[in-house]
């Protein structure tokens, strides 16, 4: 099994603290930011950053649905990590200042991919598909905080 990685980034016209607070707000904001690829969104514990346990289903392709149960940690300032209890998938959100009233958001998801020819296709196409999904999430995040 080879590790698969997908990274997407965006500069948003809002300060880093505002952007991070929106990302860490699983009770209200995060659910509104998810495109149609996500379903069954439910906060099971917490709801504000560290200690949150959140569930959703992610349909990255017409044939693949991931049932995700994510534990949220904040290992350092400006960083949220979502570890899936049901798989090897880990998503890290990093928010840093990018000049006056602007911030850079980088989202990176890694997981252990399949072996063989299936793994080749997964490593080739999954990052692009997930990147498109996270582009939509970042669009909605920007719309939420650039008001």
3-state secondary structure the chain: CCEEEEEEEEEECCCHHHHHHHHHECCCHHHHHCCCCEEEEEEEECCECCCCEEEEEEECCCCCEEEEEEEEEEEECCEEEEEECCCCCEEEEEEEECCCCCEEEEEEEEEECCCHHHHHHHHHHHHHHHHHHHHHHHHHHHHHHCC
Would you list the domain boundaries of the chain?
3-146
Does the domain at 3-146 match CATH 3.30.530.20? Answer given as: yes
pTM over 0.75? The answer is: yes
Paired tokens of 145: 């905080």
**b/e burial code for range 44-67 (CB count within 10 A of at least 16 → b):** eeebebeebbbebebebeeeeeee
pLDDT in tens, 97-131: 999 999 999 999 998 877 776 666 666 667 688 88
pLDDT in tens, 56-104: 999 977 778 899 999 999 999 999 999 999 999 999 999 999 999 999 9
């Amino acid at each position: 099994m080879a590790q698969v990685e997908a990274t997407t980034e965006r500069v948003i016209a809002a300060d880093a603290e505002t952007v991070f607070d929106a990302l860490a707000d699983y009770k209200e904001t995060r659910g509104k930011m998810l495109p149609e690829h996500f379903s069954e969104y439910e906060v099971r514990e917490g709801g504000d950053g560290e200690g949150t346990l959140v569930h959703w289903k992610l349909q990255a392709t017409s044939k693949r649905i991931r049932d995700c149960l994510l534990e949220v940690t904040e290992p350092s300032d400006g960083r949220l990590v979502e570890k899936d209890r049901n798989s090897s998938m880990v998503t890290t959100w990093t928010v840093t200042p990018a000049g006056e009233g602007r911030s850079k958001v980088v989202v990176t998801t890694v997981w252990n991919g399949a072996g063989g020819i299936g793994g080749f296709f997964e490593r080739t196409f999954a990052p692009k598909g997930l990147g498109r999904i996270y582009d939509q999430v970042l669009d909605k995040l920007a719309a939420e905080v650039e008001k």
